[in-house]
Every structure is written in structure tokens, then in C-alpha cells.
């Protein structure tokens, strides 16, 4: 968060909700690719892509060291992703379930 800004929790939640509504409204992979290319730096986008790859490899029950070798993601980040999968807000889990369901229906 920027040091000069002190949004209230409510203001922050409204701003996040506005962003998430925009993301939900995107209708294709191309639209998402373009939006995230504009929204994120290349490094930020790569970090998100890396974490999603880690999720997929953790679902395959690969060891952390093997995931690191495949992705270059630090073992610390892999551990964080694993903790979020197990005890986080449930976002990864929901995304995995939906991705699995969508993949099975195609």
C-alpha cells in the first residue's frame, strides 16, 4: 500500500470489489490477457502465473524441490501457496474445482 494513502477498510473493500467485478465481466481469455497486460507489470503477471503453476503441481503432489526445478519458484513461495491451498481463504480451491469441472466438460 502506498505510504500517503490511508484508506479505511471499507474503502479498500469497495475498491477491491470494483476491480473484481471488472475481472468477472471479462468474457474471454484474450480480454483477460489484454486487461492483465495493462494492469500488471510483466513481473507481477509472471508471479501470478508462477503461483498458479505451483497450485497445479501441488495438486499433482509433486515435491517442493521438483516444483522449484520445474518453475524456478522459491521453496518459500511454494510453501506459502501450499498453506493457502490448505488453510487460506479458499480461492485457490474454488479455482481448482472450477478449472477441473470446466476441463472435464470440454
Name the grid cell of 51: 503461483
Q: pLDDT over 70 for what percent of the chain?
A: 95
Q: DSSP state, 40?
A: S
Q: Which residue has cell 479505511? A: 8
What is the spatial distance between Cα 90 and Cα 88, in angstroms, rounded to a whole number? 5
- Predicted TM-score (pTM) of the model is 0.84
Taking residues 6-13, report their average pLDDT.
92
Burial class (CB in 10 A: 0-12, 13-18, 19+), 103: exposed
Q: What is the mean pLDDT of the chain?
A: 93
Residue-level pLDDT at 100: 87
Amino acid at each position: 500500500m502506498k505510504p500517503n494513502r490511508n484508506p479505511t477498510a471499507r474503502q479498500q473493500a469497495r475498491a477491491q470489489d470494483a476491480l473484481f467485478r471488472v475481472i468477472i465481466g471479462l468474457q474471454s481469455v484474450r480480454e483477460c490477457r489484454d486487461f492483465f497486460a495493462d494492469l500488471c507489470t510483466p513481473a507481477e503477471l509472471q508471479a501470478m502465473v508462477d503461483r498458479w503453476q505451483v497450485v497445479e503441481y501441488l495438486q499433482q503432489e509433486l515435491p517442493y524441490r521438483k516444483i522449484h526445478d520445474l518453475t524456478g519458484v522459491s521453496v518459500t513461495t511454494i510453501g506459502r501457496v501450499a498453506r493457502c491451498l490448505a488453510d487460506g481463504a479458499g480461492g485457490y480451491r474454488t479455482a481448482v474445482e472450477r478449472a477441473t469441472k470446466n476441463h472435464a466438460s470440454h
